[in-house]
Amino acid sequence: MELLGPSMIDVVNRQKPYKFTLSQVLKFGIQGLESLSSIHAKGFVHRDVKPGNFVIGNTVETSGIFYLIDFGLCKKLKIKDGVVIKPPQNGNFRGTMRYASIQAHKKEELGRNDDLMSLFYVVIEFYVGKLPWLDIFDKDEVHRLKEDFRQSHLLTKQLPEQFLEIERYITSLDYIETPDYERIKQLIRQIANENFIDLDQKLEWENELNGRKT
């Protein structure tokens, strides 16, 4: 059994300001996509993607690897003749309000596209430092803000242009459509190349964490 280390909440709380570098964010984004792609390929939707459900490895070899955990809200997709079937609207909110998709606020059945939207919110929060609805605790108000930011694209206004392309692609997906994970990863790699970032380079906190094990 793999030994796991701190969650991403623990990691970000070690840093001031409470956000990550572009290099860290891009590396996390690719690994997050790979985790979701693996879960989705097995026919499941996570439905609660958030920082606290990503942890890093607890060894020198795995301290740069992100692991997605907590499958308490995970649900199997209904597939018939190789096609995903969307169940009727279930009427219940699923997930964590800050990172929940707009479909979750509408109490619709959550699919692979919703996992991707939650991951997108996490990535934005890690890079910017906080989401616009951080201090709002009313679900309806958070829903309204998410709708406003989606329509205005303000969430990605000061970010590399590929973030807007990723947002547009994710919001174009429906429940049934299989996401093109490689397309999103390619956009992330474009950001890395344009900013001279080596995605194979160690994360900034790896040496700090590994130093405690020596």
63: tokens are 């301290």
d(CA 144, CA 139) in angstroms, rounded, equals: 9
Q: Annotated catalytic residue: which of 48, 114, 138, 148?
A: 48
State the DSSP string of 124-144: HHHHHSS-TTTT---HHHHHH
CA distances from 162 to 96, 142, 171, 186, 193 (A): 26, 25, 14, 10, 12
140 given a catalytic annotation? no
Is 121 in contact with 98 (CB distance < 8 Å)? yes
d(CA 103, CA 120) in angstroms, rounded, equals: 14
**Which residue is associated with the tokens 């570098």?**
21
Catalytic residues: 48
